Structures are given as structure tokens and as C-alpha cells.
Amino acid sequence: MSDKNNKIPFNEDNYTHNINRNNERKLDRRGFMKTLVGAAGVFAVSSLPWGVLAAKELTGLGDKKYPKQKITDVSALPIGDAVDFSFPGEHDSAILIRLSENKYVAYQNACTHLRCPVFWKKDEGEMICPCHHGKFDVNSGEPTAGPPRRPLPEIHVKVENGAVYAVGVKRYEA
């Protein structure tokens, strides 16, 4: 053992005698901290797209634009009454309900169950789908009874110069 080290070159037939791999894969404190910093970096990078998407939603870039469309004159629609129209396409039937002097709500009135038309029941104060007696809350479009489970898509309305206009559709949540 001792005499080997004095000979140059070593009298050995393997050439890996000076390679010490014993600690090569040891995770020391410094390496562990490096891993943690790297993980923090991954978290930081991966949260960027979420921020971008949220900013896009906030600025309204993702909303579809439809030309505003006149629904009816204010004078033609007494409080508590409803009128049918279509928006945004000619086959997307919708309903406008005047709840009070200045409160109008509009929904696409295809029932979210099987697309029957939903009607406004003035005396009961709720929207009813006659096919399977689905009921919807008139203030939010949320289903309150019957088979439908999803809310009616809301249409944004605006009152201008004595007429009610449809200006946009709230994004449909499946």
C-alpha cells in the first residue's frame, strides 16, 4: 500500500484512481438553497401568464364587440313588462324586462336546459321556461328551480335618448 504512492507513474492498470466521486451527488446546504431559489424563479415565471390574462380581462380586450342595437322605446315599455328581441345575431332570441323606472335587465332567453324560450311572468316575478318548468331569477339570470343548472347569458343594456339599446353580451359560462 505505501510503496505504490512513490512510483511514477503508478503501477496500476486503472486510470481512475484519482477520481473521487464520493461526494459528487451530495446535496449540501448551498445546493439546496440554489434549488429553492430556482423554484422561486419557476413560480415567478409561471405567474406571468396569469397576470397577463387578468390584465387582458380588466382592459376588456377579450370581450367581443357587437354593434349596439336599439331594442325598444322607453315609452313603449311600461314598468314590469317585457319585450322580445334578438341580439347579437338574428337568431339569438332575447328578452328585455323593465323592472323599475330605471332598471332594465336583458337575457338571451333560450333556456339553458334544452333551449326552449323563457318567458317573463309578471305576476309571479320570475322567468319561467314552460317546457320543464325551469325558473330563473330575474335579477341575475341564475336558475332557481327545475332542470336548468346554468344562468341565462346576460345582455348589457343602455338607455339613451328615450330608447333602450343592447350593447354587449356577458361572456357565457358553460
- Cβ(143)–Cβ(131) below 8 Å: no
Residue 165 C-alpha cell reads as 339599446
**Segment 14 to 33, residues that bind other proteins, using CB under 8 A:** 29-30, 32-33
Determine which residue in the list 4, 34, 70, 103 makes contact with other proteins, applying CB under 8 A: 34
**What minimum distance in Å lies between the beta carbon of 133 and other proteins?**
30
Site for other proteins in 46-105 (CB under 8 A): 46-48, 50-51, 53-55, 57-58
| Segment 121 to 140, residues that bind other proteins, using CB under 8 A | none
Q: What is the DSSP letter of 116?
A: P
Dihedral sign of CA atoms 52, 57, 58, 61 in order: positive
Helices (H), the chain: 29-59
Identified binder of other proteins from the candidate list 37, 76, 114, 145, rule CB under 8 A:
37
Please state, in angstroms and rounded to a whole number, the distance separating the CA atoms of residues 56 and 35: 33
Residues near other proteins (CB under 8 A): 29-30, 32-34, 36-37, 39-41, 43-44, 46-48, 50-51, 53-55, 57-58
